[in-house]
């Protein structure tokens, strides 16, 4: 059987639209053999995903996508192969849920000042026990016809510098990397080209990321062209990082993003799954 890895995706435990069970079923249909569920700042979806994967004969790699701060910017770090019962990580997710709720209250207040009431109740209802994210607010703004796409919701209200943006203190990058490595996992810099950093900043980030114990970088994510793949692979080589592949799948309505539908990792890149026993 050919192995097919997808090491980055989201369920209803954060801002995905599929339950962990439905996510695993879809991944299995797509031929994925090893799936890492990496919800934003939470481990809550993992038990259900594990249970379903067991029935399907699929492998779940326990994961998380941590929001982090470095140099006053926000970076996402995927933790792969973590022990979901590791105390410090579990405690961190409990605190992050409160951080996210408090941020949601502030975002809702800003929207209310823009004559858009009811956001907090709406996002809380949809998120349920899961993490509240800006995606929830984007969907609320769409449902109320304030915007017609998620992108427009970010561009007009939710992105940095826009009227409902709330800056948040996430875990410092080094602290997040430590949680992951102490939990037995591998820290991987998520979607490196999405931060729009200059070459110089990228060099600083990856040098420090590596020095802090980071071991991997996403070389393949959805919607990358050949040039972008070359660029990400080049970062992996230059900074001696293992390459990861992940769709960052959130929902079924985006035709460009599908579980397991990913370009192959360039053959000269050492795959991160060599560390995932």
List interacting residues with ligand AMP (CB under 6 A): 15, 40, 67, 133-135, 150-151, 154, 250
Q: How far is the CB of 54 from ligand AMP (least distance, A)?
A: 28
Q: How far apart are CA 218 and CA 192, in angstroms?
A: 7
Window contacting Mn ion (CB under 5 A); options: 22-30, 214-222, 226-234, 247-255:
247-255
If the CB atoms of residues 26 and 250 are measured against ligand AMP, the closer one turns out to be: 250
Which tokens go with 246? 């992940």
- Give, as ranges, the residues between 77 and 106 that touch Mn ion (CB under 5 A): none
Residue 38 or residue 215: which is nearer to ligand AMP going by CB? 38
- 8 A C-beta contact, residue 111 and residue 164: yes
CB of 158 to ligand AMP, least distance (A): 7
26 contact choice in Mn ion, ligand AMP, none (CB below 5 to 8 Å, kind-dependent): none
Tokens coding 184: 């037995």
CA 208 – CA 210 distance, rounded (Å): 5
Query: Would you state the structure tokens that stand for residue 21, as one six-digit string?
Result: 């069970």
Q: How far is the CB of 263 from ligand AMP (least distance, A)?
A: 21
Residue 91, CA atoms < 13 Å, CB-side half-sphere: 5
At closest approach, how far in Å is the CB of 135 from ligand AMP? 4
Nearest to 98 by CA among 106, 87, 88, 110: 106
* Residue (15 or 48) nearer to ligand AMP, CB: 15
Direct distance between the N- and C-terminal alpha carbons of the chain, in angstroms, rounded to an integer = 18
- Mask for 7-36, x = binds Mn ion (CB under 5 A): --------x---------------------
Q: Residue 41, interface with Mn ion (CB under 5 A)? A: no
Asked if 241 and 8 touch (Cβ cutoff 8 Å), the reply is no
Query: Which one of Mn ion, ligand AMP, none interacts with residue 12, CB within 5 to 8 A by kind?
Result: none
> Which residue's CB is nearer to ligand AMP, number 58 or number 153?
153
By C-beta, is 42 or 277 nearer to Mn ion? 42
The stretches of the chain forming alpha helices (DSSP H) are 20-29, 46-56, 87-113, 119-127, 134-143, 150-153, 173-182, 199-211, 226-238
Q: Which is nearer to ligand AMP, 224 or 269 (CB)?
A: 224
Q: What is the DSSP letter of 255?
A: T
Of positions 107, 188, 248, 265, contacts Mn ion by CB under 5 A: 248
269: DSSP letter: S
Cα torsion 221, 226, 228, 233: sign: positive
Q: Which residue is nearest to ligand AMP (CB)?
A: 133
Binding segment for Mn ion (CB under 5 A), chosen from 46-54, 107-115, 159-167, 190-198, is 190-198
Question: Cβ(40)–Cβ(15) under 8 Å?
Answer: yes
83 or 152: whose CB is closer to ligand AMP?
152
DSSP, collapsed to helix, strand or coil, labels residue 227 as helix
Q: Which residues would be at the binding site for Mn ion (CB under 5 A)? A: 15, 65, 76, 190, 248
């Amino acid at each position: 059987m050919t192995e097919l890895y997808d090491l980055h995706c989201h369920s209803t435990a954060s801002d995905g639209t599929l339950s962990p069970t439905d996510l695993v079923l879809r991944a299995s249909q797509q031929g994925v053999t090893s799936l890492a569920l990496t919800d934003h700042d939470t481990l809550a979806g993992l038990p259900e995903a594990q249970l379903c994967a067991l029935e399907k004969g699929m492998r779940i790699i326990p994961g998380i996508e941590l929001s982090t701060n470095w140099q006053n910017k926000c970076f996402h770090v995927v933790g792969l192969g973590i022990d979901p019962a590791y105390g410090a990580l579990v405690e961190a997710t409990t605190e992050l849920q409160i951080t996210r709720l408090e941020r949601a209250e502030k975002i809702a207040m800003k929207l209310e000042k823009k004559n858009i009431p009811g956001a907090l109740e709406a996002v809380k209802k949809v998120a349920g026990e899961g993490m509240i994210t800006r995606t929830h607010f984007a969907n609320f703004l769409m449902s109320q016809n304030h915007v017609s796409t998620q992108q427009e919701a970010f561009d007009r209200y939710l992105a940095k510098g826009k009227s409902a943006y709330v800056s948040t203190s996430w875990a410092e990058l080094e602290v997040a990397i430590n949680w992951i490595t102490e939990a037995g996992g591998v820290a991987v810099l998520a979607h490196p080209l999405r931060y729009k950093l200059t070459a110089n900043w990228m060099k600083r980030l990856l040098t420090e990321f590596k020095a802090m114990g980071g071991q991997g970088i996403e070389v393949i994510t959805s919607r990358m062209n050949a040039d972008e793949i070359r660029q990400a692979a080049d970062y992996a080589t230059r900074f001696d990082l293992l390459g990861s592949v992940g769709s960052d799948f959130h929902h079924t309505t985006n035709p460009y993003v599908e579980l397991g539908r990913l370009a192959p990792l360039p053959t000269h890149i050492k795959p991160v799954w060599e560390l995932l026993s």
